Structure 1
Amino acid sequence: MTDAPSEKEKMLRSELYDPRDRQLVRERRQARLLFEALNASRDNETKKRRQLLKELIPQGGDSVWMQPPFYCDYGSNITLDENVFFNFNCVILDVAEVRIGARTLFGPAAQVYTATHPMDAQERASGLELGFPITIGEDVWIGGGAIICPGVTIGDRSVIGAGSVVTKDVPADVFAAGNPCKVVRERAAGAR
Structure 2
Amino acid sequence: MNQKERMLAGLPYKAWMDGLAEEQLENKKRIYEYNLCRPDEGEKIERSIRDILGKAGKNVYILAPFHCDYGRHIEVGDNFVANYNCVILDVAKVVIGDNVMFGPNVSLLTAGHPIHHESRNSGYEYGIGISIGNNVWIGGHTVVNPGVSIGDNAVIGSGSVVTKDIPANVVAVGNPCKVLRTITEAERDYYHKDKKFDVSDY
The match for 2:170 is: 174
The match for 1:165 is: 161
Q: Does 1:55 align with 2:51?
A: yes
The match for 1:66 is: 62
CA distance in 2, matches of 1:125, 1:81: 38
User: Shift of the alpha carbon at 1:58?
Assistant: 3.0
CA distance in 1, matches of 2:19, 2:100: 31
TM-score (norm 1): 0.95
CA distance in 2, matches of 1:19, 1:73: 11
CA distance in 2, matches of 1:68, 1:57: 14
Q: Does 1:148 align with 2:144?
A: yes
Q: How many residues align?
A: 188
CA distance in 1, matches of 2:57, 2:4: 22
Q: Which runs of 5+ in 2 are unaligned?
A: 191-202
The match for 2:29 is: 33
CA distance in 1, matches of 2:151, 2:182: 12
Letter paired with 2:12? L
CA distance in 1, matches of 2:103, 2:182: 21
Q: Identity over aligned residues, as a percent? A: 43
Could you tell me whether the CA contact under 8 Å between 2:4 and 2:18 is conserved in 1?
Answer: no
User: Shift of the alpha carbon at 1:190?
Assistant: 6.0
CA RMSD of aligned residues (A): 1.2
Could you tell me whether the CA contact under 8 Å between 1:149 and 1:166 is conserved in 2?
Answer: yes
* 1:118-169 deviation per Cα after TM superposition (whole angstroms, max 9, x unaligned): 1121111111110111000000000000000000000000000000000000
Q: Does 1:126 align with 2:127?
A: no
CA distance in 1, matches of 2:77, 2:93: 14
The match for 1:187 is: 183
Letter paired with 1:74? Y
Q: Which runs of 5+ in 1 are unaligned?
A: none
CA distance in 2, matches of 1:49, 1:128: 35
Q: Does 1:136 align with 2:144?
A: no
TM-score (norm 2): 0.90
* 1:12-50 deviation per Cα after TM superposition (whole angstroms, max 9, x unaligned): 111000101141111111111111111111100011111
The match for 1:82 is: 78
Larger of the two Rg values belongs to structure: 2
